[in-house]
Structure 1
Amino acid sequence: MANTPQSKKRARQNERRNDVNKARRSRIRTFVRKVEEAIASGDADAAKLALQAAQPELARGVTKGVLHKNTVSRKISRLAARVKALQA
């Protein structure tokens, strides 16, 4: 349990950051899920548009410190490859 004023403040800050980061991760997962659903349905145009919408959202996750740079790079690469294969 936090005892000093500083540790109490840090606990409050951590709680707030946790809520914000949780919302960000959830939002990112929603965008990725939309791309995967479009791929599963076989709609190449919808998948391409969904990927274009998801890419900046994933990149924002990196700048905000929610996700690691390499993780996002890998996810975008794999989604892009699947979308490209769908269009071919």
Structure 2
Amino acid sequence: MANSAQAKKRIRQNERRRLINKSRVSRIRTFVRKVEEAIASGDKSAAGEALKAAQPEIMRGVTKGVIHKKTASRKVSRLSARVKALA
């Protein structure tokens, strides 16, 4: 258990940060899921639109520090390859 005021404040900050990061990761997952659903339905135009919406959201996760840069690049690359393969 935290004894110092500094440690108690750090616990409060960490909890706030955790909730914010959790919502950011959840938002990214939702955008990725929309792309995957569009791919599964076979609709290339819808998949392309969903990918255009998902890309900035994934990269925003990088700038906010919730996912690694290379992880984000890999996700975008694989999604775009799958959308391109629908043709």
Name the amino acid aligned to 1:39.
Answer: I
> Aligned ranges for residues 5-84 of structure 1 at < 5 Å?
5-84=5-84
TM-score computed with the length of structure 2 as normaliser? 0.99
How far did 1:75 drift? Answer: 0.2
How far did 1:37 drift? Answer: 0.2
Task: Name structure 2 gaps, 5 residues minimum.
Answer: none
How far did 1:69 drift? Answer: 0.2
Pairwise CA RMSD: 0.4
Task: Name structure 1 gaps, 5 residues minimum.
Answer: none
Matched-pair identity in %: 76
Name the amino acid aligned to 2:61.
Answer: G
TM-score computed with the length of structure 1 as normaliser? 0.98
How far did 1:35 drift? Answer: 0.1
How far did 1:22 drift? Answer: 0.2
